[in-house]
A and B are shown apart, each in its own frame.
Chain A
Amino acid sequence: MAQQTVTSPRKIPVRKIKNRRPVVASCLFMGLGQLLYQKQFIKGIFYALIELMVIINANTFLQKITGLITLGDPKPELPVKDRDHSIFMMVEGIIFLILFVVFLCLYVTNILDAHRTQKRFERVGHYPTQRVVASSLADSSFAFIGLSPVIVLLSFFVIIPLMFSAMLAFTNYASPDHIPPANTVDWVGFGTFRDVFEKSEWATGFTRTAVWTLVWATLATVTCYVGGMLMAMAMLDKRVKAPKLFRTIYILPYAVPSMLSLMVWRNLLNGQFGPINKILIQWGWIDAPLPWLTQVDLARFSCVLVNLWLGFPYFMMLITGLMTSIPRDLYEAADIDGANKRVKFFRITLPLVLYQTIPLFIMNFSFNLNNFGAVYFLTQGNPSDFTTTQSGAGTTDILMSWMYKLTYDQRVYNKAAVVSILVFLVIAPFAIYNFSRTKAFKDGEL
C-alpha cells in the first residue's frame, strides 16, 4: 500500500515565486519591494518610515547597546553628576536592545509580507488595491489597539525588570564600593554566585536561611492544614449548636488584613511590655517574661504559631465546603455495611478530602515559601546571630525577607539578585505543577 505523506494541517506548502525581485528589494531596505514593485503604498511607506527612524537614531542605538556591554568607565576627574551612570546605562541598554530586536522582527515581517503579496499576485494576477488593504487594516486594528497598552505595560514593567534583575546577578552592583553615579559597576560573571556559595559567612547565612525557609514552609502549611481540618470537623459535629456563629468568629483572622494582625501580634508578644507575658505572669504560669521574639527557637515557634492563627480559617472554610459536598449516599452505604463513626471518617471522608486538597496544599506550600509578610512583620528576621553582620540574614529570615533586607537595608543589590534567581529556581517546579493542573492546560486549548 502506498504510503501517503500526511502534511500537518499547519504547514502550507511553500510555492516558489517566480519574480524574486520585490522580496530581494525588501531585504535590502524595508518597504522597498512594496513601494517599487507591488504598489503597496500604505505598507511600503510604513515599513520605510520605521527603517528611516532606526537609521537616523543608529548612533543612539549603538551607543546605548555598547553602554550595556561596557557599563561605563570610571571618570574620577568629572564631578559626580557627569560621570557614567552604570545602572542607567544598563537599563537603557536593555531597552534599546529590545527595541532593536523588535526592529529585526519587523524587518522579517516586512520580507514575509513582500513574499506573501507576491505569491498572491502570481495566483490572482493583480495586487490588492489600497482601498482593500485599508479596510482590512481597519478591521484588524481593533486587536492591535486593544492589545497595545497591555504589551507596552508588560514589556516595560514586567519583562525588562526581570531581565535586568537576572543581569544584576552577574555584576557587582553593591554598597559601598559600587553605587553609581559615584562609582561604576562592572560585569563579574559568576563571581557573585561564587561569593554567595563560598565565602563562609555568606554561605552559612544562605544555607541556614534556605533550610529554615523549607522547614518553615512545611511547618506553616501542615499546621494550618491540620488545624483547619480539626476545626472543620468540630464545626460539622452535630453536637455543636450555632455552628454559623462560631464559623463567623473563626473567619475573622482571615478577614482582617494579615499585615495589621502581624503587627498587632508583634506587640502582643513583646518581651517586656506585651500583654501576653503580663497575663501569663499574672496567672502564675511563668516567673519571668518569655522572650517570644528575641530568642531563636522561641521566635521560630512564634512565627509558626502566629501563622497558624492567621491561616487556619482558610483551610477550615475549604475543608468544610469539601466535607459537606461529599454525597450522603456514601455514608448511608457505609451505615448499611455497619461502619462506625471512626471507620466512616478514616475510610470515606479523609481520603476524599485529602485527594481534593492536595493541589491547594501544594499551592499553600509555595505561597509560604514566599511568605514575606509572615516573617518580616513579626520579627523582621531577628533575632540575629553571628552570621548576620556579614550576610544580613537573621535567624528567622526566609529567603524572601532576606532578599528584601539585602536590597533595602544593605543595598547589596547583586547578591539580592543572585538570591532571587535561586529562589525562582526553587519556586519554578511548583509553579509549573500548579499551571499544569489548570483546566486550560489540560484541555490543551490556549
Chain B
Amino acid sequence: MTEGKEKRAHKRISISRIITTIMLYIMLFVIVILVIYPLSFTVSSAFSDSNSLSGLSVLPFTHSVKVDTIDAIALGENAYALPDVEKLPTDKAIYVVIPQTNTGSATLAIGDNAALPLRMKAKDGTLSEPAEGKLKEGRIAGITFNGTELVVEKTYTNATLPTYMAFGGFSLIQFKKLFEDTNYKYWFFNTFKIACANTVISVLCTTVAAYIFSRFRFRGKKPMLMSMLILQMFPSFAGMIATYVLIWRLGLLDNLFGLILVYSAGSIPYNTWLIKGYLDTIPRSLDEAARVDGAGYFRTFRTIILPIARPMVTFLAVTSFTGPWMDFILPRLLLKSDVNKTLAIGLFEMINGRENNYFTQFAAGAVLVAIPFIIIFAINQQYMTQVLSSGAVKE
C-alpha cells in the first residue's frame, strides 16, 4: 500500500523536474554548439576553395561558390549595364545578375521584393526553382564588387547570399597553397627543431642541476635556490630588450640557436625546482647503497635516480616540447627572415592586417598544427593524472 503512495508522490513532482531537465539539456547543447562552432568553422575553411573570409559560408562544410565577374545590375528581370550606384532605386526590386562558372547566373533580389527567393537564371533566360535562403530587405547605400563578391556598404543585405548554394565537395587547395606560396614547411620544421633542442637541453641541464641540489650540500646552495625562486617570479619578457641586445651582440640574431638558448635558460628556475622537489622524495638510502657498491655520482644518477624519476622527467620533456610551438613574443623579436620564422609568427602574419584574404590558408595551417597538439594534450592529460596520483609529487 505504501509503495503505491510513494509512486504517486513521485509522479507529482516530476513535471517541474522534466522542465528543468529540458532546460538543462538545452543549455548544454547550446554550449556545445558555441564550443564547436569556431573549431568546425576553421576546419571547414581549411577545406574550402574560397580565399577570403567573406567568401566563406556561415555554416561549416557548405560549399561556397566563387563569383567571377559581375555582369550587370538589372532592374526588373532584364539585364542592364552597370548603373551608377547612387542612382539605384530603393523602393523597387533590384536584380543583380551574377554569372556563375558552370550553369548560368544567379539573381538576387533586394528591396521591395525581398520576399522573392534566390533563383538561378540560365543562359537561355529560364529561371530555375528557388534555392534556399531567405532574403532580408534593406536600403542600399552602395554596392561594390571586390573581385570575389558583392559587398553592400552601410546597410547589410544578403548580397552575399550566392555563397549559400551548396554544390558539394571540398578541396584541398588551401593546403596546396599553404605549402607552395608560403614558407610553411620551413616554419613547421623550425619550430620542430626548436622544440626538440629545447627539450634535450632543458631535460639534461635541469635534471642534473636538480639532482645536485637535491643530493649535495655545498656552500651557496641556499642562496642559489632562493635566487632561482625569485627569478621565476619575473615575467618572461621583462628582459625582452636586453635579450635582444645580448643575442645581437653574440651574433645569433635570426638564428634558431639563439632562441633555443633563451628558451632553455628561461625554463631553468621553475623546472629545477619542480624536479628537485620530486627527487627529494626519493629516499637517500638508494644513493647510499649505490655508493657502497662503488658507483660514482654520475653512475648513480644515470642508473638509479633517472629511472625512478622517469614520470616527472617525461612530463618535463613533454612540457618543454610543447612550450615553444605557440610562443610569440620572443621569436618575433629574435627572428627576422621569413625562412627562419616559427609557426606562431608565420600564422599570425598571415592574418594580421590582411584579415580577409588569407583566412582559409591560415585555417589550413592551424588545422595542421592543432591536430598533433590535441593528441599530445590528450596523452599528457592521462599521464599527468598518473604522475600526480602516484604520490611522488607532493604539492
Contacts and interface: CB of A to CB of B under 8 A. Distances in A.
A264 B242 contact: no
Interface residues of B, number: 95
A154 B362 contact: no
A354 to B, nearest CB: 20
B72 to A, nearest CB: 25
B233 interface: yes
B374 A153 contact: no
Given A146-B211, A147-B209, A255 B377 contact: yes
Interface in A264-294: 264-268, 270, 272-275, 277-279, 281-282, 284, 287-289
Contacts of A428: 233
B304 interface: no
Interface in B292-339: 296-298, 325-326, 328-329, 332-333
Contacts of B237: 403-404, 420
B241 A273 contact: no
Given A142-B298, A165-B240, A257-B326, A240 B234 contact: no
Contact of A439 (B34, B272, B344, B395): B395
Contact of A435 (B54, B229, B238): B229
B288 interface: no
Q: Which of A254, A274, A289 has the most C-beta atoms of chain B within 10 angstroms of its own C-beta?
A: A274
Contacts of B151: 272
A273 B54 contact: yes
B36 A252 contact: yes
B43 to A, nearest CB: 10
A143 B212 contact: yes
B282 interface: no
Q: Which of A92, A147, A156, A253 has the most C-beta atoms of chain B within 10 angstroms of its own C-beta?
A: A147
Contacts of B326: 257-260
Interface stretch (A45-53, A126-134, A215-223, A370-378): A370-378
Given A260-B370, A281-B136, A309-B35, A158 B265 contact: yes
Interface in A149-170: 149-150, 153-154, 156-165, 168
B79 interface: no
Given A91-B242, A289-B156, A446-B226, A408 B269 contact: no
Given A157-B243, A372-B329, A440-B277, A257 B355 contact: no
Contacts, number: 234
Interface stretch (A14-22, A56-64, A231-239): A231-239
Contacts of A440: 273, 277
Interface string B384-395: 000000000011
A255 to B, nearest CB: 4
A125 to B, nearest CB: 26
Contacts of A309: 34-35, 38
A77 B348 CA distance: 43
B231 A263 contact: no
A161 B36 contact: no
Contacts of B53: 267, 270, 273-275
A433 B283 CA distance: 30
Contact of A165 (B160, B241, B273, B374): B241
A427 interface: yes
Q: Which of A246, A258, A275 has the most C-beta atoms of chain B within 10 angstroms of its own C-beta?
A: A275
A329 B56 CA distance: 55
Given A273-B52, A427-B233, 16 more contacts: A88-B245, A142-B296, A150-B272, A153-B265, A161-B242, A161-B243, A163-B242, A164-B241, A164-B246, A165-B239, A250-B31, A272-B54, A282-B58, A372-B329, A420-B235, A423-B238
29 contacts: A88-B249, A91-B242, A140-B218, A143-B218, A147-B209, A154-B268, A158-B266, A161-B239, A161-B242, A162-B231, A162-B234, A162-B238, A252-B35, A257-B373, A260-B369, A264-B42, A266-B351, A266-B355, A268-B38, A272-B54, A273-B356, A281-B136, A281-B158, A287-B138, A377-B328, A423-B238, A424-B235, A439-B395, A440-B277
Closest 4 CB pairs of A and B: A161-B239, A157-B265, A164-B242, A161-B242
Interface of A: 87-88, 91-92, 140, 142-143, 146-147, 149-150, 153-154, 156-165, 168, 231, 234, 237, 239-240, 246, 249-250, 252-261, 263-268, 270, 272-275, 277-279, 281-282, 284, 287-289, 309, 370, 372-373, 377, 380, 400, 403-404, 407-408, 413, 416-417, 420, 423-424, 427-428, 431-432, 435, 438-440, 445-446
Interface of B: 21, 24-25, 27-28, 31-32, 34-36, 38-39, 41-42, 52-54, 56-58, 134, 136, 138, 151, 155-156, 158, 160, 205-206, 208-209, 211-212, 216, 218, 221-222, 225-226, 228-229, 231, 233-235, 237-243, 245-246, 249, 261-262, 264-266, 268-269, 272-273, 277, 280, 296-298, 325-326, 328-329, 332-333, 344, 347-348, 351-352, 355-356, 359, 362-363, 366, 369-370, 373-374, 377-378, 394-395
